[in-house]
Amino acid sequence: MKTSFARIERKAYWALLAAAGGLLLIGLGAARYMEEHGHSVTGMSNQVVWGMPHVFAIFLIVAASGVLNVASVGSVFGQPQYKARAPLSALLSIAMLAGGLTVLMLDLGRPERVVVAATRFNFRSVFAWNVFLYSGMFGVVAVYLWTLLERRLNPLSARVGLAAFVWRFILTTGTGSIFGFLVARQAYQSALLAPMFIVLSLAWGLAVFLVVQAALYAWNGRQVPAQVQARMARLLGIFVAASAYFVLVYHLTNLYWARQWAFESFILVEGGIYPALFWFGYALAGTVAPMAILFTGGQASARASVAASLLVLAGAFALLYVFVIGGQAYPLDIFPGYAVRSAFFDGAVASYAPSLPEVLLGVGGLALSLLITAVCVRLLRLMPQDEQASTTATAH
């Protein structure tokens, strides 16, 4: 069954595509502006080298891995209700990965030099590993989506789905390892970051899926089956709780080491915008509030689930901003136990304020993901087949 958009007018659909395309063009224009004038027009510096575009890019890449979990539950673990949602899950994974990598490539300033990264490898670098992980993810998920949509290839979907399941875990481990192996920053250099990113991806990806699924059902004048709605909402609550647990363990681990006390005090108490975003953006709005919604009667309501999902996504951006930007803003402890002063701002907290071009570039990546999704759900058979899933579940 193709998506029919029964409740949305043709003009409204084209308006949606025009809006997404317009935001994409604005993002490309911002990338061009930064390429022409250099990073002096951004808030980044030689201390904060990863800015707002990286927050958007990391979110899209991590969520792209997590959103595929919906398909994995269906194909790998044989759950019919989730298997009915596997094509949409695979499409969202490809679309979000494309958006995130586009932001990363355009933020380089010289996007054409990506050819160098793709042809000359330093295998001691995690970044070089990710060239293979990202391209491999595209290929595996594309083949997986093909086996789901082509009836003759349906018998192969379970095997390819298992390969995609394994690959996405490896990919998210690689993304977390970029920071985990970065010993030059006190915020990172932790083996916990790889599993933490995996669990975060599960929550963020499922939140994205619930929002998109709700929009598709509304456009088609349908409602998500109550049992499926409650099950997926409950699962989101569990993922959010697991994410909070890993974030808590990460910070408690840092507090165990005396050399990390100053950093934890900065990021959680004294760092200005960073503690505010962590406690109010991530902990309260992105964790406590959605769990309260999902575990106190909001599971059966589609609107409540969407509201909780949006809060989870807002918390994701808050956490990534604190983690990525705050981790760089804190001064390097080059000589432990000594106070360092020089003309190069050694020992000083770096200032960073995201510029408009940075934000527009990140929004352009989101718009590209939205554009790919909107076009494909209109042309391909991606609408979840609840009737068929119900029949299969009854047969089993």
Residue 395, pLDDT score: 45
Give the model's confidence band at 335: pLDDT under 50 very low, under 70 low, under 90 confident, else very high: low
Q: Is the pLDDT of residue 342 over 80?
A: no
Residue 174, pLDDT score: 85
- Averaged over 323-352, what is the pLDDT? 75
User: How does pLDDT run across 237-258, given as a tens digit for each residue?
Assistant: 999 999 999 999 998 988 888 7
Q: Is the pLDDT of residue 394 over 50?
A: no
- Averaged over 226-232, what is the pLDDT? 87
User: How does pLDDT run across 267-318, given as a tens digit for each residue?
Assistant: 898 888 999 999 999 999 999 999 999 988 767 788 889 999 999 999 999 9
Q: Is the pLDDT of residue 120 over 50?
A: yes
189: left (phi over 0), alpha (psi -120 to 50) or beta: left
Query: Could you tell me which of 96, 134, 140 has the C-alpha nearest to residue 114?
Result: 134
Give the model's confidence band at 345: pLDDT under 50 very low, under 70 low, under 90 confident, else very high: low
- Tokens 């916990």 locate to 192
Alpha carbon distance 193, 240 (integer Å): 16
Alpha carbon distance 316, 275 (integer Å): 15
Enumerate residues 6+ apart whose C-beta is below 8 A from 190.
Answer: 179, 180, 250, 253, 254
Domains of the chain with CATH codes? 21-380 (1.20.1630.10)
